[in-house]
Amino acid sequence: MPVTHRVIEYACAVVKNGKPEREYEQLLSIPSNDIPTVVQVLTQIRPVDLSGKPTFKDIHETIEGMLAPDAILVGQNIQFDLKMLKGEGWNLTERPWIDTAMLASIVYPELKSYSLGFMSEVLGLTHTPKHRALGDVRATLQLFGLCCERLESLPEKELGGLKSLAERGPESYRRLFASLLSTSKKKRPDWLSLRKHALPEANDLSIPASPLPEGEIPSVQIVEETLSPATLQSVVAGATKRTVVAVKNLDAVLRRLELPESIVVLPAAEMILSKEAAETFLLQKTFTADELSLAMKLVLYAPELKIDLPIHGDEYAVWTAKLAAGNESPEYLARRKKLGKVTVVTSHHELISIANSEDTKSLKGTPVIIDDASMLEDTATQALGWTCFVPTLRAMATGSEHLTKCVDLIELWTEKTRGGNDLRYLAPSDLGSPESESIRSVVEPLLKTDLPAGARHALMDLLKILDPQNLDGRIPWIECFQDGNKSIKSVPEKIGEELAAKLYSLCPTTLLMPKSLAKECGAIVPQNTETISASLSPLPPCDLTVTLPIGVSTDQLLQSATGKTVLLVGSKRTIEDLYVKHFEKLEAVGVTLLCQGFAGGQSRMQAEFTQAPEPAVLVTTPWTYETMELTKGMVKSLILQVLPFDHPSHAVFSRRALRYQDPFSEYSLPRLKHRLFRLIRAFARHAKKDASVLILDDRLRTKQYGKNVAQYLLGLGNAKGEKKTAEQMSLL
């Protein structure tokens, strides 16, 4: 990071008239040549390599002299490089620059990641020397050329439209687009019809429809959810003409399922493009770099939903602040009018938000099916929660003096109130302080002005949090994250009671959850709620082997990995230790090791793991893997190093646990079992035939509760129980 790390290698290429004139690379010494171990593994640069090398100050005059006064800086995720150089005393932030990652996201909509490593593999870029600065420079230069070629393949009218937008953007983009040559072609290139998100996987037409019997209000029907990836497809196919099907992750479902045309999709308002906002946005007199790239994508891809765009980087903040629809937008209301008339697929979050709204007429009496109901406590907590995420509000305040002043007051209050603590629960005295009263006095008149939908929502939530009358029955807190960002939140303490009052009493509700865990769902179904049970039509079996090996270590499994393996570990620290210990060893024998935190964000990890040749190992946390989208039939083994219990100090979990007489057995253990089911069910979507699940946690044998969990696990898939070490090794 620019704040704490130093530049240990610098490389660049000087290009004139489209041709490289000069390359430069230099290793640099730093105080004590103390390179963090992780950086040594990542770059393969050791302290001894820096011995006797010049400092950055020594080469500053040389490299500055290579930079012509009118030069445009080109780099991959270039703003990070600029921050690093600024940390060394060379401030180039005011020079014109172009980010090839953002440029590629405009013209390569089919790619699932815009990391340089991934694009080098997919596009065949020359990326040598590997892991070094000059290799990155060469690959970046080649990528820049390919992006320009794609832009020049656009019909003259469309390229002219982009040039017109670029004239309102930063100088670097004005000059770049002005230099692009127009073509006489009239046909749109094929790549414009591609989408960043692939079409749904081919569906087996033999999957039977599973119409579910409709319950009566206020009953809750619990239906067994199987490990089969076909479960949700079967339920959607069997839905009646007026049903709401709610899923945990709507975006993922839209990419995975084939939905009949008769079904209406209802995303959250912020996922929908507001046509009025888009028209206003495209008429802006000036654009930042992120705004410009997003404006170009609006013109090229004519999206209706955010998922329709190859959106990347800080464009997400621009979308939220300037383009997203609100709950009163016609685009959102047009979809919402379908509730109670046809089958609608939406998210847990949106369903509960509607049920919690003042106008529930369109939903009342409509049968509701909730997939992934074991996750309902968490998704309902989010839906019924109030959140003010300070960095997002700060981004929305750009250009608004009054909103900026408001955000300043909020930040001062959060800093004073939390008192240096990363987590601070709010008390009545906090909400009655002069600072909180000052915030209210500024926010209330602001809400009467024209604000972005996201800013309005955040400020309304903040007012609710700051109201002392709203403390009863809720968990309010301030949280400061590792990157310094702060969030102010408040969630209901008793989710089950909220669901009973605001959903179950309104609609006949079907919960899809593991049958064996139905009796352990008190967090979402209060004890006094009437429940009935039902079953799905028989589905194709899930051919997985669940094993609990004895005496097998993570190190052994990594060293003998074949095929593609997913390894789930309990913490980022463990991931770092495994990366440092195994990356170079595995690379030397042709095994790709991808680790969370060292392979970019989730989309990049997914893309690079999919693209990697076998053998390959992906190391991540259970919480991240649960939401991953990997290719069907790709992964051979899932290894779970430790049981994924909730962290006892989590802001919400720790408070809710206090409500139970035996928090571990009554709350923590059921949540663990539900999470294990979801992990194995996710693996079932990614697994090869005869794939295996290995769970290494020795507590499954040494603890009494572990034996209970082991019995549950061995009831999933084709359980093999405890095997000898040699046999377990052969599974990989």
d(CA 649, CA 661): 18
pLDDT band at 197 (very low <50, low <70, confident <90, very high): very low
pLDDT band at 195 (very low <50, low <70, confident <90, very high): low
Q: Residue 712: what pLDDT?
A: 87
Handedness of CA 190, 193, 195, 201 (dihedral sign): negative
At residue 232, the pLDDT reads 84
Instruction: Answer yes or no: is 207 within a domain.
Output: no
**460 vs 341, which has greater pLDDT?**
460
Whole-number Å distance between alpha carbons of 76 and 113? 13
Distance CA 365, CA 340 (A): 8
pLDDT (mean) for 284-296: 96
Claim to verify: residue 599 and residue 727 sit in the same structural domain: yes
Q: What gap in Å lies between CA 401 and CA 131, rounded to an integer?
A: 45
Residues 468 and 559 in one domain: no
563 and 458, same structural domain?
A: no
Among 121-135, 210-224, 272-286, 535-549, the range of highest mean pLDDT: 272-286
Give me the CATH number covering residue 53.
Answer: 3.30.420.10
Residues 604 and 486 placed together within one structural domain of the fold: no
Give the Cα separation of 617 and 585 in Å (integer): 13
Whether 46 maps to a domain, the answer reads yes
Mean pLDDT calculated for residue range 43-48: 92
DSSP 593: E
In a domain, 478, yes or no: yes
Q: 551 and 485 in one domain?
A: no
**pLDDT-based confidence at 216, cuts 50/70/90?**
low
pTM, two decimals, is 0.88
The predicted structure's pLDDT at residue 538: 64
Q: Is the dihedral of CA 216, 217, 223, 228 positive or negative?
A: positive
Residue 231 backbone dihedrals phi, psi, to 5 degrees: -55, -55
Whether residue 463 is found in the same domain as residue 552: no
Residues 558 and 617: beta-carbon distance below 8 Å: yes
Burial bucket for residue 1 (CB in 10 Å: 0-12, 13-18, 19+): exposed
Assigned domain for 700 exists: yes
> Is 249 part of any domain?
no
**471 and 553 share one domain:** no
* pLDDT, tens only, 343-367: 889 999 999 999 888 777 778 888 9
Q: Indicate the number of domains in the chain.
A: 3
Do 429 and 577 belong together in one domain? no
Same domain, 578 and 437: no
Contact 401, 446 (CB under 8 A): no
pLDDT band at 342 (very low <50, low <70, confident <90, very high): confident
- Domain end: 152, 172, 189, which one? 152
Q: Is residue 50 part of a domain?
A: yes
Average the pLDDT over each of 161-175, 252-266, 343-357, 670-684 and give the range with the smallest value. Answer: 252-266
Across 600-620, average pLDDT: 92
For the record, the structure tokens of 6 come out as 């130093």
Residues 600 and 480 in one domain: no
- Tell me, yes or no, whether 380 lies in a domain: no
- Of 391-405, 413-427, 618-632, give the lowest mean pLDDT range: 391-405
Q: What is the pLDDT of residue 539?
A: 64
Q: What integer pLDDT is reported at residue 292 of this predicted model?
A: 97
CATH code, 585: 3.40.50.300
pLDDT at residue 1 greater than cutoff 50: no
pLDDT confidence tier of residue 201, bands split at 50, 70 and 90 = very low
Q: Which of 135, 152, 169 is the last residue of a domain?
A: 152
pLDDT confidence bin for 48, thresholds 50/70/90: very high
Same domain, yes or no, for 476 and 551?
Answer: no
Same domain, 550 and 657: yes
Range of the domain at 619: 544-731
- Structure confidence at residue 218 as a pLDDT band (50, 70, 90): low
Domain membership of residue 595 (yes or no) is yes
CA gap 362, 264 in Å, rounded:
14
Is residue 118 within 8 Å of 127, Cβ to Cβ? no
Final residue of a structural domain among 123, 152, 181: 152
- Per-residue pLDDT for 721 more than 50? no
> CA angle, corner 601, sides to 294 and 569, nearest 5?
160
Give the chain's mean pLDDT: 88
Strands of 264-266's sheet, edge to edge? 264-266, 344-347, 244-247, 368-370, 509-513, 220-224, 531-534
Average pLDDT of the residues in 232-244: 82
Predicted confidence band of residue 608 (pLDDT cuts 50, 70, 90):
very high
